[in-house]
Every structure is written in structure tokens, then in C-alpha cells.
């Protein structure tokens, strides 16, 4: 195969921007085609902020990857003169015997991530959470939040400086795999390149239906912002990013801030018992209205565990997860055509890794002999 000199990136969201950034840096002429705009609320990156954490209950093997991404975010922030990562620390809390909570602590121990372990009384002394006596907390100072808009701006401006071209309102209808690979746009134009990177987020199954038939699900998630009484704002603005392994589900939140939307951001990643949030949706017709059923688990959590957060609803956003069966990522080549590289299925926890994933995508595009990491291989997602 010839060296790869040009690539088209389909989807200019989180992983598309990061891939374009890495490819352009590595000398590839990149064209990014994005259906909507630079930063939008219709895919998976809406909602202004994202958690970054090294206490990784999803698997300790993610820790070196998040550490690599953390360094890259920091360096990118320094070069762009913008704060991308706000290191608030991460507070995790839950029953001491909760398997995910234990995995999180084990991931820290395994990788030497600095962590302080507190019992329930120490937790309640430090932060306004009300928990039973058998709960504990793990505080990792390395955790924090990423600012989505500034992260996107910084990736795009470095990619542009390295020659990448960005086209918005460019809807790709089809990936074209013949003697040359290319894409067919909505307006009928066909564009070719040496390689195609598909980072279409929730729309991946429509673009490559044979990749993992029936294995990628799109789920609706709601982010909320709350206005607590004014006298509590200073205290809530000092909070670390936090996450709770509650028996009802995995809840998380951010300090009070005026990052785009003023308020205390609060959400639920997964509930223990199946609920409406587990019903697959179609990204074209997803319900973006807010319903009382969206708020009920959050209200319950706040009243039982975090009464200081009680307030009036200020805003909400609907955002999409694209999940694999294991909730681990997919970064691999299309088995039909090795010139097509796919990064998707980020299962609600991919943002923090973006610069590291972009680097991996660039390596796969440029080095035909390189295999995808087994942890993210397509075949893994066919199992079970
Ligand atoms: C509510 C919520 C909370 C989250 N919280 C966290 C968190 O705290 N920490 C964390 O690390 N991760 C978090 N995530 C996950 C993270 O945001 C996602 O994993 C990440 O944004 C996925 O990036 P992506 O590039 O796959 O998707 P996107 O960023 O959505 O990008 C895909 C892009 O492709 C474009 N596109 C699609 N089809 C086409 C087409 N045919 N032609 C042209 N363009 C197309 C879309 O318009 C979109 O811009 C969260 C996700 C959600 C929804």
C-alpha cells in the first residue's frame, strides 16, 4: 500500500476533531466533513463540560490512556493559552462493598494514582453529602472537568494551523469503497482520499451498517442544571467533580458554575434497574423535551444524598450515548476495507480520552501493518 497522504474525516465532533488534529500534526492532508456545526447539542458532546478521572472503575487498563490524554489536554491548553482542564479533584462515594467503587479504588492502587480514602463521617465533615455509615469516599486530586467548547476550539485551531480543512453543513450519505475510497455527500458530490476516518458518533450504524449489526445502541441521556438558593452558591462552587455509586444508579455532578449555563450540573449515567433511559433511540427523532420521569431519579438522589443541591431547575440538554455491548470503545479498521478507520461506541465515557484516541486513529491510518488494540477491536464487540 502507498503512504497515506490524504484523509477525509466524517464527523467533526469529539473524536473527529481529535483525529483531524492528530492526522494533520502527523503530516496528512485532512478534510473534515461535519453535518451540523462546530460544537452542537445534537450528538454526544453537548452540555458544556465533561468529567476527567483516573479512578477508572470501567477497567484499570484505561488509566494509562487517560493519563496520556490528560497530558495532551494540558499541553494543548498551554499552547492555546486557554484553560481546557479544570482540576477540581474527583470525589467518588458509595457503599464500601460496591464492586464498581472497589474497582475504582483498585485502579488507583494499581497505577499509583494519588487517592485519599475517607469513611462516611469524614466525607460528611468535608462535603455536603448525607450517606449511610457503611459508605465511604475516595478523593483523587487528579480528577476534574474538561470545558467542551474550549477543547474543541483548541483542537480545531491546531489542526487548521497544520493544514486541515473543515466543512460544516456537509452531510455524508455514503462511504464509498472502490479502487479509491471516498464519501458521497448529500448534494451528490463524491470526494476521494487515501483513507477515510468515520467518527460519526450516534450516526455510525447508518454509515457503516455491516460493521457491527445490531451491536451499537443509541441511548438518550439528560443533563440538568439547578439553581440552589444564593446563600449556598459559594459552597457549591467549591465542590470537586463528584460521582456516586448509589444503589439506585451512577449519579454525577459538577461544581456550581457559570460555564455557558449557570447552575449546578447534575446527571445520571446509568440506573441499576432498567428504565426508559435503556430504550434504544433513533438519533434523528430522539425526544429532546424534558419529562418528569427524567427528573425523578435525580430528585430522589438529591433529597436522599445531596440535599444542599436542592433548587429550581435552570436548564436541561438531551445528549446521546452510543454504546457497545460491553460499554468499551471501538477503534479499528473496517473489515471490508482497511483504508477505512472507525472510532465510535464511546459509551458515555469517551470525551476525556479524545487526544489519545485521535493519536491512535492517526497511527492506524498511517501504518497499515498496525493492529487495533485488542481492547477496542471490532471482533471484541461481536462476542457474547
Ligand atoms: C450526557 C453525556 C455525558 C457525558 N459525560 C462524559 C464525561 O463526563 N466524561 C467523558 O469522558 N465522556 C462523557 N460523555 C461521552 C463523550 O461525550 C462521548 O463519548 C464523545 O463526545 C463521543 O464523541 P464522538 O465523536 O463519537 O461523537 P460526537 O461528538 O457526537 O461527534 C460525532 C459527529 O459526527 C457528526 N456526523 C454524524 N453523522 C454524520 C454524517 N453522516 N456526515 C457528517 N457528519 C456526521 C455529528 O454531527 C457529530 O458532530 C458523555 C456523553 C453524554 C451524552
CA-to-CA distance for 79 and 37, rounded, in angstroms?
24
How confident is the model over 289-321, as pLDDT tens digits? 999 999 999 999 999 999 999 999 999 999 999
Band the pLDDT of 70: cuts 50, 70, 90. Answer: very high
Name the residue of 50, 199, 321 to mutate for ligand 1: max ligand atoms within 8 A of Cβ.
50
Using alpha carbons, list the distances in angstroms from residue 333 to 225, 340, 370.
39, 6, 10
Mean pLDDT of 247-264: 96
Is any ligand 1 atom within 6 A of the Cβ of residue 348? yes
pLDDT above 80 (res 54): yes
How many CB atoms are closer than 10 A to CB 289?
8
The pLDDT, as a whole number, for residue 384 is 67
CA-to-CA distance for 179 and 176, rounded, in angstroms?
9
Are 9 and 197 within 8 A, CB to CB?
A: yes
Mean pLDDT of 223-237: 97
For cell 455510525, what's the residue?
204
CA-to-CA distance for 185 and 229, rounded, in angstroms?
50
- DSSP line for 33-49: EESS-SS-SSSSS-SSE
- 200 Cα nearest atom in ligand 1: 34
Name the residue of 33, 45, 51, 355 to mutate for ligand 1: max ligand atoms within 8 A of Cβ.
45
Is any ligand 1 atom within 6 A of the Cβ of residue 223? yes
Does CATH place domain 6-46+149-215+326-382 in 3.30.390.30? Answer: no
The pLDDT, as a whole number, for residue 202 is 98
Find the 345 Cα to ligand 1 centroid distance in Å: 9
Name the percent of the chain in helix, strand, coil, to the closest 5: 30, 30, 35
The answer, as to whether pTM is greater than 0.75, is yes
Are 52 and 352 within 8 A, CB to CB?
A: yes
Kind and range of the H or E run holding 123: helix 120-126
Band the pLDDT of 20: cuts 50, 70, 90. Answer: very high
Find the 43 Cα to ligand 1 centroid distance in Å: 5
With 0-12 / 13-18 / 19 or more C-beta atoms within 10 angstroms meaning exposed / middle / buried, residue 231 is exposed
What strands, in cross-sheet order, belong to the sheet with 135-140? 116-119, 135-140, 90-95, 241-246, 249-253, 264-271, 217-227, 312-323
CA-to-CA distance for 63 and 56, rounded, in angstroms?
6
Main-chain phi, psi angles of 85, to 5 degrees: -115, 120
Give the contacts of 384 (CB within 8 A, at least 6 positions apart). 325, 326
pLDDT above 70 (res 62): yes
Name the residue of 32, 72, 346, 352 to mutate for ligand 1: max ligand atoms within 8 A of Cβ.
346
Is any ligand 1 atom within 6 A of the Cβ of residue 44? yes
Are 277 and 286 within 8 A, CB to CB?
A: no
Q: State percent of the chain over pLDDT 90.
A: 97
Band the pLDDT of 185: cuts 50, 70, 90. Answer: very high
Give the contacts of 179 (CB within 8 A, at least 6 positions apart). none
Task: Give the fold, CATH level 3, of 75-143+217-323.
Answer: D-Amino Acid Oxidase; Chain A, domain 2 (3.30.9)
How far separated are the first and last CA of the chain, in Å rounded? 34
pLDDT above 90 (res 13): yes
The pLDDT, as a whole number, for residue 310 is 97
Band the pLDDT of 276: cuts 50, 70, 90. Answer: confident
CA 367 to chain centre: 26
How confident is the model over 351-368, as pLDDT tens digits? 999 999 999 999 999 999
CA-to-CA distance for 205 and 17, rounded, in angstroms?
20
Find the 197 Cα to ligand 1 centroid distance in Å: 15
Is any ligand 1 atom within 6 A of the Cβ of residue 143? no
With 0-12 / 13-18 / 19 or more C-beta atoms within 10 angstroms meaning exposed / middle / buried, residue 130 is middle
Among the residue ranges 1-5, 83-87, 254-258, 293-297, the one predicted with the least confidence is 1-5
Please state the domain extents for the chain: 6-46+149-215+326-382, 75-143+217-323
Q: Is-same-fold flag (6-46+149-215+326-382; 75-143+217-323)?
A: no
Amino acid at each position: 500500500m502507498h503512504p497515506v497522504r490524504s484523509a477525509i474525516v466524517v464527523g467533526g465532533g469529539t473524536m473527529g476533531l481529535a483525529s483531524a488534529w492528530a492526522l494533520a500534526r502527523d503530516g496528512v492532508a485532512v478534510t473534515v466533513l461535519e453535518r451540523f456545526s462546530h460544537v452542537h447539542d445534537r450528538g454526544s458532546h453537548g452540555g458544556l463540560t465533561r468529567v476527567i478521572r483516573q479512578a477508572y472503575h470501567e477497567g484499570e487498563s484505561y488509566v494509562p490512556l487517560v493519563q496520556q490524554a490528560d497530558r495532551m489536554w494540558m499541553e494543548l491548553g498551554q499552547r492555546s493559552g486557554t484553560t481546557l482542564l479544570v482540576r477540581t479533584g474527583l470525589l467518588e462515594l458509595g457503599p464500601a462493598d460496591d464492586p464498581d467503587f472497589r474497582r475504582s479504588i483498585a485502579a488507583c492502587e494499581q497505577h499509583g494514582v494519588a487517592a485519599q480514602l475517607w469513611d462516611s463521617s469524614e466525607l460528611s465533615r468535608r462535603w455536603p453529602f448525607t450517606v449511610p455509615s457503611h459508605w465511604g469516599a475516595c478523593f483523587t486530586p487528579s480528577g476534574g472537568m474538561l470545558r467542551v467548547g474550549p477543547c474543541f476550539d483548541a483542537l480545531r485551531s491546531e489542526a487548521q494551523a497544520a493544514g486541515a480543512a473543515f466543512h460544516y453543513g456537509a452531510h455524508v450519505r455514503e462511504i464509498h469503497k472502490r479502487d479509491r475510497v471516498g464519501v458521497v455527500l448529500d448534494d451528490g458530490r463524491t470526494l476521494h482520499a487515501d483513507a477515510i476516518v468515520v467518527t460519526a458518533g450516534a450516526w455510525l450504524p447508518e454509515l457503516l451498517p455491516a460493521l457491527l449489526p445490531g451491536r451499537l445502541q443509541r441511548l438518550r441521556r439528560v443533563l440538568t442544571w439547578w439553581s440552589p438558593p444564593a446563600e449556598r452558591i459559594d459552597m457549591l462552587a467549591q465542590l470537586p467533580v463528584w460521582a456516586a455509586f448509589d444503589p439506585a444508579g451512577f449519579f454525577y455532578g459538577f461544581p456550581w458554575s457559570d460555564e455557558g449555563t449557570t447552575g449546578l450540573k447534575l446527571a445520571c449515567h446509568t440506573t441499576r434497574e432498567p428504565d426508559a433511559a435503556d430504550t434504544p433511540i433513533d438519533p434523528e427523532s430522539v425526544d429532546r423535551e424534558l419529562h418528569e420521569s427524567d427528573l425523578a431519579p435525580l430528585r430522589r438522589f438529591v433529597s436522599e444524598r445531596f440535599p444542599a443541591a436542592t433548587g429550581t431547575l435552570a436548564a436541561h440538554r438531551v445528549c446521546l450515548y452510543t454504546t457497545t455491548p460491553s460499554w468499551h470503545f471501538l477503534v479499528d479498521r473496517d473489515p471490508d476495507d482497511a483504508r477505512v478507520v472507525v472510532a465510535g461506541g464511546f459509551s458515555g465515557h469517551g470525551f476525556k480520552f479524545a487526544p489519545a484516541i485521535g493519536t491512535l486513529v492517526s497511527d492506524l491510518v498511517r501504518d497499515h501493518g498496525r493492529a487495533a488494540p485488542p481492547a477496542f477491536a471490532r471482533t471484541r464487540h461481536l462476542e457474547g
